[in-house]
Structure formats: structure tokens, C-alpha cells
Amino acid sequence: MGGGPGARSARGASPRDVATPDGSGGRRFEFDSPADAQRLDTLVAQEGGLSRTQAATLIATGAVTVEGRRERASYRPRRGERVAVQVPPPVGRDIVPESVPLRIAYEDAWLLVVDKPAGMVVHPAPGHWSGTLVNALMGRAGGAGRPGEADRAGLVHRLDKETSGLLLVAKTDESHRRLTAALAQRRIRRRYVALAWGHLDEDHLTVDRPIGRDPRDRKRMAIVSNGRPARTDFVRLARFDSVDLLAARLLTGRTHQIRVHLASVGHPVVGDDTYGGGGGRRLVALPPHRHFLHAAWLRLEHPMTDQLLDVRSPLPAELRASLAAVSDDGGSWSSGPDLTGDALDDVGFYRIDD
């Protein structure tokens, strides 16, 4: 699922990534100072997902400006002042193209759709400099990355490490521009399947709650009043003894959106250690370090030909096995899933109207 760091702006603005002016790489983001002004180094750390030391170093080296001027780390920005941060690329950490097998669900001259396995990190980062999806894309014959943006490799949106499924990748600058615009205009439909603990009160649920960086733990996201708008539509596909099988449609693309929204209504994703759903794995036959969330369906108009693309990813084997385990305990899916085909067909996942 795609999105950047959460916001703390009094006006509802949020940190947004902007292009680096010289194409040298790294990351540049901007945000408006909140009403409850804090030290500049604290704000930069929270909004950028950085450590306090990293933030202080950026400020000291002039990589942070407030309304275009340099300030000390102890400066407390006034409400609404624009803070711009330039994070340089990691020194000595060139992204190395690697020959990593990928499952490609669709490909043509302008784009491809990767079916990402659980456990694969999308972007290189400390602790994961190799074996990532970006490494694999850069190492493919013919390449998928765009000049000057090896760190993104044409990715249009993102998926969490332990979330499997479909990811859209542009192969040209023009297709990337058009796909990014289509995503922002909600013309790309992304549907996920999730197993959630407990039971929804109704078969349909819309969660419309803003998401931002958790002020108590910068590695987590949370529902925060001044976060970025986030909306997810959920439809119950099947009800079992202790879990619901859900279809989730993203109306926005915030970091960890589905996981945070389900946890916020008391029904965390099964196997989600970060947001309270990690217990009881044996009850659902789920492997360690795996949550039950899969990007199963992607629909869009081709950015260059206007052809309707309908790309599907059946449940991975470990999720099919988990679904079989919960269906054995009884529930609305009395006949059990079809483990020889696409189990999602059995519950009408592809027939839900948007």
C-alpha cells in the first residue's frame, strides 16, 4: 500500500516529497509547522521519519530551511511556516542491480505489474541494501528504472514488506507521469484481501480517519487528528469462528492504511505484529512474520493506449492454507475454499461493485 510520513500541520497540510532540483537523488520533502510548535530538530525528525541526530545534522549543514532561511536546531517555527528538508542520498550506497527472480503479472513497452512476494522489501534502506524489489527491477534485462531515479525504479505506489501482491511500475517517464496522475485522481482501482480478527458489525464498513506518523513511535503510523485524509471501504466476504475475510478498497494511499484503519476499529489484520494482530497465529495456521494482507486486484486504463487492464493475483499458498484452516472451524464459507484455483472467486471478490 503507498503514502509518506504523517503530518502535524494545523492547516491539514502534510509532508510531501518533491523532486530534487538537480536530479542528484536523495529525498526532499516539505511541511507546514503545526500550531503546537516544537523545536525544529524535533519537527524534522517526526515529519521525516528520521532520528533526532539525523535531523540535527541536516539543520547544521544547511539542508533544512524555514521559509527559505536557515535556523538553529532549537528554533521553534511559527504556525504555518514552511519547512523544507533535503536529505542527501546515503554516501557510498549505490543501488546495485541484482538478478533477483520476479513474478511479472503483466508487461508491455510502457509498464509492468510485479506480483511481489511477502518478505521482500520494496526500497533499499539501512538493513536492507540488497535483495529489494528496486534492486531486482534495476537488474532486469531491459531495465525498469528511469534515469536519475534509481532509488524508485519507476514505482508508482508501494507495498509493505510482509504484504504480497500487485505493484505497478512505469518503464518510461511519460507513463510514470500519467500513472502518477491517474493514481492521484483515483482512476487506478486497487483492491486487497485481508483476514481480520473478530467480526464487523455490518457487511459493509467505510473507515474515514486521517493517518499520520505516530508521535510516540516514528516507525508506526496512527490515527491523528491533523494527519493526512485516509479512506478505506471494506466488504465482508466470509465470516468464520474468530475472523472475517474482507475485501478492502483504497480510496487514498497512506502508509499502512489498511492495517491502521482495521486496528482503529478493533479488528487488526491477522498476523500484524505492529498493530495488534500478531497473536494466535497457530489458530489460523499462519507462518511467522507474515500478515494476512494481499493486493489481489488492480484495474486501470492503460496510460498510453487507454486499454482497460484487469490484473489479478490469486492468494499465495500460505494464505490459501490459512484460509483453509479457518474455514474448517466453521462459518459462512461452509464448503471451504477452492485450493486448486483462485479461492477469491468463491466469495465474489471480483464481483464487488465500486
CA 144 to chain centre: 20
- Tell me how far apart the alpha carbons of residues 121 and 90 are, in angstroms, rounded to a whole number: 17
Q: Are strands 243-250 and 111-116 parallel, antiparallel or unpaired?
A: unpaired
- Tell me how far apart the alpha carbons of residues 151 and 26 are, in angstroms, rounded to a whole number: 8
Q: Does an H or E element contain 102, and which? A: none
CB 52, CB 41: distance < 8 Å: yes
| Helix, strand, coil share (%) of the chain residues, nearest 5 | 20, 25, 55
- The torsion angles phi and psi of 270, rounded to 5 degrees, stand at -60, 130
Strand, coil or helix: 318: helix
Work out the burial of residue 9: count CB atoms within 10 Å of its CB; fewer than 13 is exposed, 13-18 middle, 19 or more buried.
Answer: buried
Q: Is 345 a catalytic residue?
A: no
- 160, 214, 244, 272: the catalytic one is 160
Angle at 335 between CA 332 and CA 337, to 5 degrees: 90
Indicate the residue type of 132. T
- Which residue(s) pair with 213 in the sheet? 221
CB 27, CB 37: distance < 8 Å: no
- The torsion angles phi and psi of 173, rounded to 5 degrees, stand at -60, -45
Q: Mind telling me the catalytic residues?
A: 160
